[in-house]
Amino acid sequence: MLRFGRVFRRLAFMEERSSRAAWLAVVLGILLPGLGHVYVRQFRKALVVNFIGWVATSLTSLIVRDTATAIAPLNLLLAAPWLPSFYVYMSWDAYYLAARQTSAGARHMESRRSLYLAAVCLLLASIMLDQASSSFRTARFTNVVGEAMAPTILDGEYVLLHASADDGRLPEPGDVVFVQDPEDRDRLFISRCAATEGQIVAIENGVVRVDGILFDEPEGVRPAPEDFGPEVVPDGHFFVLGDNRGSSFDSRRFGPVPRDHLLGEVVQKLIARDARSGTVRLDRFGELIE
């Protein structure tokens, strides 16, 4: 009976150890694709998994970015399966390998030094792949707080934006942009570009004019309660206005925005939870922002 008890305790310990190792492999893989496979000494597979993760991420970004104006909201549905499928496969494989090795009592001759070296090599490979694909992976998601862009974008909604390329170009008038506050770069906001360098902006009786011409705005824009300008936009800058002018913090208060404060163009709405009622607004899913 004593021998049976020792065997039972040993099996229970091995099972607990197996479970811990398996879940640790999963967590490491989520932190860096392939790191969980390094943990179980599957070095070649770690590189393969890391490369597949790069392909899945780049493919998702390309589908979202290049088809947004053509088949929205189908672009979001087409992009959705890639990353979740990759992470499910990677996590399951790392969990299975770790559990099988520890339950079988597998021993490995590799030292900790070799494991650390493999992890560093994987990290360097990830950085190189990330740099190589930076021009492709330009899709980002962000949530909106406040009513400055209502009714175009509402409080609590998530939007898709295309990260700005570092090519010195200014946004076009009418574009909805994601920018840094010129007075505090840690503060981010979404607004609409109304004018660019050299143009003259004026607001009178709620009507926006650029170079004396009525600014073409979407339906539902809530006009400004006070007049503004005229003001000339300096070189390398652009002038932004919120669509809800009475509640918008924009260029009327902090001035034109420098080009290097542009983070991207907001192009599409995602599924949103209403910040007040908590309901999901499926009717706004995938709408292009105009």
CATH number of this structure's domain 139-284: 2.10.109.10
Q: Are 241 and 248 in contact (CB under 8 A)?
A: yes
> pLDDT tens digits for 97-128?
887 776 555 544 455 666 667 777 777 777 77
What's the average model confidence in pLDDT over 84-105?
79
Query: Token pair for residue 265?
Result: 């163009």
Q: Distance (Å, rounded) from C-alpha 180 to C-alpha 167? A: 17
**Quick check: 192 and 95 in contact, CB under 8 A?**
no
Domain boundaries, the chain: 2-132, 139-284
Q: Which of 227, 236, 237, 153 lies closest to 190 in space, CA to CA? A: 153
Lowest mean pLDDT among 6-20, 110-124, 200-214, 244-258: 6-20
Residue 236 above 60 pLDDT?
yes
Per-residue model confidence (pLDDT) at position 232:
92
Span 223-241, average pLDDT: 87
Give buried/exposed letters for 196-207 (b at 16+ CB in 10 A, else e): beebebbbeeee
Q: What span, in angstroms and rounded, lies between the C-alpha atoms of 40 and 101?
A: 8
For the record, the structure tokens of 247 come out as 């509640």
Residues 265, 290: Cα–Cα separation, whole Å: 11
Q: What is the mean pLDDT of the chain?
A: 77
Q: What pLDDT is recorded for position 134?
A: 59
**Please, what sign has the CA dihedral across residues 133, 137, 138, 141?**
negative
- Name the strand (E) or helix (H) holding 52: helix 43-66
Inter-residue long-range contacts of 251-255, CB under 8 Å, 24+ positions, other chains counted: 251/191, 251/194, 251/201, 252/203, 252/224, 252/228, 254/181, 254/182, 254/183, 255/182
Q: Among residues of the chain, what percentage have pLDDT more than 70?
A: 80
Give the per-residue pLDDT at 238.
92
